[in-house]
């Protein structure tokens, strides 16, 4: 199965794997490289511009020692002999011009690469964020928010460092290296060959470093992710942490993860500690060799002292880029490990994907149909064996049944949080999978138990139901659902910041905001998944009153444990073990229900 890996390792599957095969490593590298190229491509012109700038910079920087040589060899003799400074001043003047030009181009280059880097980061952030949002709820349940955060913070930072520092170094170093090589060859070929003899050793050292450091940096990225995940989990659950004196145990876990991260960091730094100075030693040895060979050639009259001086100056500058390249390599390896993760996320297929050519549905009627729907979550346990169901437009349906009967799954399928494993769910006779997300979400809205609020004001959170709604509309929605009383009592009314995850609002209040949001969204199909469970009775009654009017002309699916909720339904479905075992008017199906 030589071709298998690509399939086994698609998406984020490689995360958390300690051992990867050579085959896999090259697959992952290729994927990372494609991602890097694709984010750089739109900036091709700017990149070309920056390379041109750095080229001029390098020319100027390289001209320096050459002009020094000229000044020494042909500027000083006339001065010593007849006091003529003309030539000397000319060379020094040129040297100054070169230096100033180098300064200006350096400025332009740094500015330009800074902008390119930030544009690329912006683009990467945008793509990864949006792709996470495209991925299914099922993916998010497995992947956890801590890892999402890790991808979009520490991995992006690592790539940012490559762009801000690495690419500058790379282009500068490579050009400088080539430039100096050419100049040394021009100055004196035999001496240049002596200098270049060190390159195979540098290369060998680089190969060793590359092999080891890619593993080290991979370990670093994994370790920092673990630190972030633990951190986010602790901060998110601080009430429970403190109430149960979990702090010491958490500290042990965190310290351990932090130590692992430290170990990985020390590992990669120490590889650098061998590589960088190793290259430097090779450089020093080369300088010694040049000194002896060059010295003999001066004695033989083959070259001048000026040439030897220029050579030694160049040699210093030759190994500086090599050093810098080793730094670049560290940054690059770190970024490559991050790119591997990000490209994995982007490679992850949205299981519940938007169609390529959606069937348009401008205004839905709200007719919902299950056609032979079979469903199981990842674990292969069949939740819904075979559901056929038709909910005509405008009908309010209550789903009742025990925990685990499959009610929520039915609701999730209508809201297309998951796709059926077999069969179809249709809205107005269109398969949900053929609908554009925008059309589907305009037509179908789900309110769940959790009442998640985003940072921002209460009004912002309600407005999420229909972006662009006026304040009057927001307030009307809150009024309709009976949330206005508590909102107006808040310190700043509708403008009150809901703080961290709505920490200040009680769960019932958050639920009311979620209802107001749904009211404002004004969908044709409304799904309430135990949405009233954290409300007290008077509030629930208020909400139900509002629901009676709200649901009058639209399709609704309500999951509830309480008879009072069932009473507002036109029809009750009793679900048991994934099958609908009873279907009819509330009073017929459930004895003891007053007619609604």
**Residues within window 114-153 making contact with other proteins, judged by CB under 8 A:** 114-115, 117-119, 121-122, 125-126, 129-130, 132-134, 137, 140-142, 144-146, 148-149, 152-153
**Closest CB to other proteins among 402 and 548?**
402
Closest CA relative to residue 280, chosen from 234, 340, 230, 322: 322
Closest CA relative to residue 36, chosen from 349, 338, 327: 338
Instruction: Please say whether the dihedral angle defined by the alpha carbons of residues 28, 34, 37 and 39, taken in this order, is positive or negative.
Output: negative
Residue 96, H or E segment: helix 86-134
Minimum CB separation of residue 5 from other proteins in Å reads 26
Region label for 92, one of left (φ > 0), alpha (ψ between -120 and 50) or beta (otherwise): alpha
Closest CA relative to residue 314, chosen from 334, 337, 294, 342: 294
| Residue 86 interacting with other proteins (CB under 8 A) | no
Minimum CB separation of residue 131 from other proteins in Å reads 10
| Residue 534 interacting with other proteins (CB under 8 A) | yes
CA separation, residue 330 to residues 15, 19, 166, 326, 501 (Å): 21, 21, 9, 7, 39
DSSP sequence for 259-288: HHHHHHHHHHHHHHHHHHHHHHHHHHHHHH
Please report, as residue ranges, which positions from 559 to 578 form the binding site for other proteins (by CB under 8 A): 560-564, 566, 574, 576
| Interface pick for other proteins out of 169, 509, 544, 555 (rule CB under 8 A) | 509
| Residue 197 interacting with other proteins (CB under 8 A) | no
Q: How many CB atoms lie within 10 A of CB 287?
A: 18
Minimum CB separation of residue 125 from other proteins in Å reads 5
| Interface pick for other proteins out of 21, 296, 349, 470 (rule CB under 8 A) | 296
* 8 Å CB contact between 474 and 494: yes
Please report, as residue ranges, which positions from 16 to 45 form the binding site for other proteins (by CB under 8 A): none
Query: Mask of contacts with other proteins, 478-507, x by CB under 8 A?
Result: --------x----x-------xxx-xxxxx
| Interface pick for other proteins out of 167, 180, 183, 287 (rule CB under 8 A) | 287
* Token digits of residue 39: 């984010």
**Closest CB to other proteins among 110 and 359?**
110
| Residue 238 interacting with other proteins (CB under 8 A) | yes
| Residue 363 interacting with other proteins (CB under 8 A) | no
| Interface pick for other proteins out of 277, 355, 360, 372 (rule CB under 8 A) | 277
Please give the Cα distance from 168 to 189 (Å, whole number): 30
| Residue 381 interacting with other proteins (CB under 8 A) | no
* 8 Å CB contact between 282 and 202: yes
What is the total count of residues that contact other proteins (CB under 8 A)? 180
| Residue 90 interacting with other proteins (CB under 8 A) | no
**Closest CB to other proteins among 114 and 423?**
114
**Closest CB to other proteins among 396 and 448?**
448
User: Which residue matches tokens 């593993």?
Assistant: 215
Half-sphere exposure of 21 (CA within 13 A, CB side): 9
Closest CA relative to residue 291, chosen from 301, 305, 278, 270: 305
**Closest CB to other proteins among 23 and 377?**
377
| Interface pick for other proteins out of 20, 51, 90, 313 (rule CB under 8 A) | 313
| Residue 254 interacting with other proteins (CB under 8 A) | yes
| Residue 415 interacting with other proteins (CB under 8 A) | yes
| Residue 261 interacting with other proteins (CB under 8 A) | yes
**Counting every residue, how long is the chain?**
596
What is the separation, in whole angstroms, between the first and last Cα of the chain?
Answer: 63
Minimum CB separation of residue 195 from other proteins in Å reads 14
């Amino acid at each position: 199965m030589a071709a298998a890996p690509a399939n086994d390792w698609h998406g984020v599957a490689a995360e958390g794997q300690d051992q990867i095969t050579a085959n896999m490593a090259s697959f992952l590298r290729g994927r990372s490289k494609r991602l890097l190229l694709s984010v750089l491509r739109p900036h091709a012109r700017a990149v070309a511009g920056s390379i041109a700038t750095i080229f001029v910079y390098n020319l100027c920087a390289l001209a320096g020692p050459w002009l020094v040589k000229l000044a020494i060899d042909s500027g000083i003799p006339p001065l010593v002999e007849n006091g003529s400074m003309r030539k000397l001043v000319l060379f020094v003047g040129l040297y100054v011009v070169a230096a100033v030009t180098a300064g200006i181009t350096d400025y332009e280059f740094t500015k330009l690469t800074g902008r390119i880097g930030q544009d690329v980061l912006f683009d990467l952030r945008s793509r990864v964020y949006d792709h996470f949002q495209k991925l299914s709820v099922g993916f998010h349940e497995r992947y956890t928010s801590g890892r999402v955060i890790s991808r979009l913070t520490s991995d992006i930072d690592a790539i940012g460092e490559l762009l801000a520092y690495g690419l500058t170094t790379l282009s500068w170093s490579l050009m400088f290296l080539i430039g100096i090589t050419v100049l040394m060859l021009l100055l004196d070929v035999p001496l240049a060959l002596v200098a270049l003899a060190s390159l195979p050793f540098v290369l060998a050292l680089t190969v060793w470093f590359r092999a080891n450091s890619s593993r080290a940096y991979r370990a670093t990225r994994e370790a920092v992710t673990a630190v972030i995940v633990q951190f986010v989990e602790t901060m998110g659950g601080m009430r429970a942490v403190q109430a149960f004196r979990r702090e010491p145990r958490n500290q042990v876990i965190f310290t351990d993860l932090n130590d692992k991260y430290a170990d990985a960091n020390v590992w990669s730094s120490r590889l650098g500690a061998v590589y960088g100075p190793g290259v430097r030693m090779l450089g020093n040895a080369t300088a010694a060799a040049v000194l002896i060979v060059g010295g003999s050639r001066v004695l033989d009259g083959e070259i001048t002292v000026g040439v030897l001086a220029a050579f030694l100056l160049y040699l210093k500058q030759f190994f500086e880029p090599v050093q810098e390249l080793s730094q670049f390599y560290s940054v690059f390896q770190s970024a490559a490990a991050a790119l591997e993760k990000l490209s994995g996320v982007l490679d992850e297929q949205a299981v519940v994907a938007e169609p390529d050519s959606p069937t348009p549905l401008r205004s839905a009627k709200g007719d919902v149909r299950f056609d032979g729907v079979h469903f199981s979550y990842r674990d292969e346990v069949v939740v819904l064996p075979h559901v056929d169901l038709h909910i005509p437009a405008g009908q309010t349906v209550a789903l009742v049944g025990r925990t685990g009967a499959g009610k929520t799954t039915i609701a999730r399928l209508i809201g297309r949080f998951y796709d059926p494993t077999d069969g179809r769910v249709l809205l107005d006779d269109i398969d949900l999978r053929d609908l554009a997300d925008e059309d589907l979400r305009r037509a179908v809205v789900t309110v769940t138990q959790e009442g998640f609020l985003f940072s921002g004001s209460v009004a912002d959170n309600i407005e999420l139901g229909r972006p662009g709604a006026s304040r009057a509309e927001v307030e009307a929605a809150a009024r309709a659902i009976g949330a206005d009383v508590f909102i107006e009592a808040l310190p700043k009314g509708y403008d009150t910041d809901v703080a961290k995850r709505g920490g200040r609002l009680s769960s019932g209040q958050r639920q009311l905001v979620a209802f107001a949001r749904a009211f404002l969204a004004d969908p044709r199909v409304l799904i309430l998944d135990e949405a009233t469970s954290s409300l007290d009775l008077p509030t629930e009654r208020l909400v139900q009153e509002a629901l009676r009017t709200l649901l009058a002309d639209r399709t609704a699916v309500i999951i509830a444990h309480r008879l009072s909720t069932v009473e507002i339904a036109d029809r009750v479905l009793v679900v048991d073990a994934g099958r609908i075992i009873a279907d009819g008017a509330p009073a017929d199906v459930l004895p003891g229900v007053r007619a609604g």
